[in-house]
């Protein structure tokens, strides 16, 4: 069967058109995947943010009572204290409980990891510089958590921090009654 030049050219045009349609479909699919990934990322950030706020609210609800029972009579609390450091960086502290003389800074984590403890200690070491209004206060640290990775819970207490476990609809300090926190 002999094929004419016009028939061959027509087949080439059909193949080229099919390739163009496939390329357009691939582009549309890629854009759709990017849009889906962006939306999933936004949902994950929203969930993480809301979960973090829930954990903070759970801990804050019992914090005044817990610290008062430990001999630190707290007057009030501040949540999500944010600001700019002199070096241009930012800081954020989840909960700050204070009474005019003493300040307890609480870092809240869903899952407590050793690196979280190290990072929080670094923040505590700089807090009086970053927030000068607390420079004259006795400062204590606390880490609140739902679950803890290997060794993180012991690390909290060994570094002189209150260890607060969020449980059910409340929170409790796990340190022994005679525990004395490190002061900054």
DSSP H helix total and E strand total for the chain: 3, 6
Number of structural domains found in the chain: 1
Given this model, what pLDDT does residue 168 score?
Answer: 62
Given this model, what pLDDT does residue 92 score?
Answer: 93
Q: Is residue 179 in a domain?
A: no
Asked if 144 contacts 96 with a C-beta cutoff of 8 angstroms, the reply is no
Q: Is residue 21 in a domain?
A: no
Given this model, what pLDDT does residue 12 score?
Answer: 84
**pLDDT by 10-residue block (mean), the chain, 184 residues:** 78 86 87 79 64 74 89 91 88 93 94 95 94 94 90 93 82 88 92
Given this model, what pLDDT does residue 107 score?
Answer: 96
Q: Is residue 83 in a domain?
A: yes
Q: What is the CATH number of the domain that holds 169?
A: 3.40.1350.10
pTM score, whole prediction: 0.70
In 70-159, alpha helices (H): 114-130, 152-158
Q: Is residue 130 in a domain?
A: yes
* Host domain of residue 119: 54-173
Given this model, what pLDDT does residue 138 score?
Answer: 95
Q: Is residue 40 in a domain?
A: no
144 CB-contact burial (10 Å; exposed 0-12 / middle 13-18 / buried 19+): buried
Reference 140, options 89, 175, 165; nearest CA is 175
């Amino acid at each position: 069967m002999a094929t004419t030049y016009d028939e061959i050219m027509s087949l080439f045009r059909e193949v080229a058109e099919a390739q163009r349609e496939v390329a357009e479909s691939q582009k549309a699919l890629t854009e759709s995947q990017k849009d889906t990934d962006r939306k999933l990322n936004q949902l994950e950030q929203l969930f993480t943010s809301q979960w973090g706020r829930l954990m903070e609210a759970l801990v804050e609800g019992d914090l005044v009572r817990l610290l008062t029972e430990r001999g630190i009579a707290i007057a009030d609390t501040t949540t999500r204290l944010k600001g700019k450091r002199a070096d241009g960086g930012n800081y954020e502290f989840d909960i700050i409980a204070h009474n005019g003389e003493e300040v307890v800074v609480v870092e809240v984590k869903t899952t407590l990891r050793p690196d979280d403890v190290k990072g929080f200690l670094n923040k505590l070491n700089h807090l009086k510089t970053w927030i000068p209004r607390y420079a004259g206060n006795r400062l204590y640290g606390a880490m609140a958590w739902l679950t803890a990775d290997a060794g993180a819970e012991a690390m909290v207490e060994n570094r002189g921090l209150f260890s607060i476990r969020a449980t059910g609809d409340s929170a409790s300090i796990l340190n022994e009654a005679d525990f004395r926190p490190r002061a900054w």
